[in-house]
Structure 1
Amino acid sequence: MKMKLLALLFGSALVLAACGGDDNAGEDTDTGNNDTGTEQPADDENAGGDTGAVDTAAAEKIYQNNCSMCHGADLSGGAGKDLREIGAKYNQEQLVDIIHNGIGGMQGINISDEDANTVAAWLATKK
């Protein structure tokens, strides 16, 4: 019984630790998506007054390097929440705060403000 509990605690610690770091820094993590364009959300989709185009390719790369291990390569979730429609619940500013500080069981992620804004702008379009 103690071994099962220890294994469960160790496994949980590994999952939580994986969400907090950039283990792939400097590695080429091509997602196979050749979309190099930008998405321009409509005014009504731009909740919170955020402006500007979304650099989809950069956002997807940052996401794959920092978030996909918990939230899935396709945003569908796993250890973390499903993010496919996260923009319907949170705007870009709120998402930046969640990325840096965490929410619920998610710990904050240690990435630059620029990277957090890039990912948050992209996630805010997911509705």
Structure 2
Amino acid sequence: MKKTLLALLLGSALVLGACGGKEKVKEEGTAGTETVKIDAEKIAQANCISCHGETLEGRGNFPNISKIGATLSKDEILDVVKNGKGNMPKINISSDEAEAVAKWLSEKK
């Protein structure tokens, strides 16, 4: 009995531990549909600040992208994120995350 209970608790802990990561929220205007909320700023901070600086102001040979939306469209930014450009390599994130980051950066004007 104790072994069964311990196995059940351990299994539950593993299953619950594997869950999480992205926050699920109900999308407004749709009945019962769930979407994953992606924090584009957090993804950009994790992937961009090492080269572009903490406020995306540019650093060394890396350009200032704090107002990149004034010169590039969302689709152009998305292309750079997905495929890289010049010395910038492509960013290894999911398509949904890339879309969110491109949208977020395109609003920086």
TM-score range, shorter chain: 0.5 to 0.7
Larger radius of gyration: 2
Q: Give yes or no for the alignment of 1:68 onto 2:46.
A: no
Q: Distance in 2 between matches of 1:96 and 1:102?
A: 9
Q: Which residue pairs with 2:88 in the alignment?
A: 106
Q: 1:103 aligns to what SS in structure 2?
A: coil
Write the deviation string for residues 46-79 of structure 1: whole angstroms up to 9, x where unpaired. Answer: xxxxxxxxx8x81110011111111111010115
Gaps (5+ residues) in structure 1?
Answer: 1-54
Please list, as runs of the form range in 1=range in 2, the aligned pairs for 1:8-27 lying within 5 A after superposition: none
Instruction: Give the letter aligned to residue 43 of structure 2.
Output: I
4+ residue segments displaced more than 3 Å: none
Q: What TM-score comes out, normalization by structure 1 length?
A: 0.53
Measured on the aligned residues, the alpha-carbon RMSD in Å equals 1.6
Q: Which has the higher contact order (CA 8 A, sep 6+)?
A: 1
Q: Distance in 2 between matches of 1:117 and 1:78?
A: 24
Q: Quick one: percent identity of the two aligned structures?
A: 43
Q: What TM-score comes out, normalization by structure 2 length?
A: 0.61
> Could you tell me how far 1:102 is from its partner in structure 2?
0.8
Work out the number of aligned pairs and report it: 72
Instruction: Give the letter aligned to residue 101 of structure 2.
Output: V
Please list, as runs of the form range in 1=range in 2, the aligned pairs for 1:24-103 lying within 5 A after superposition: 58-79=39-60, 80-103=62-85
Gaps (5+ residues) in structure 2?
Answer: 1-36
Q: 1:119 aligns to what SS in structure 2?
A: helix
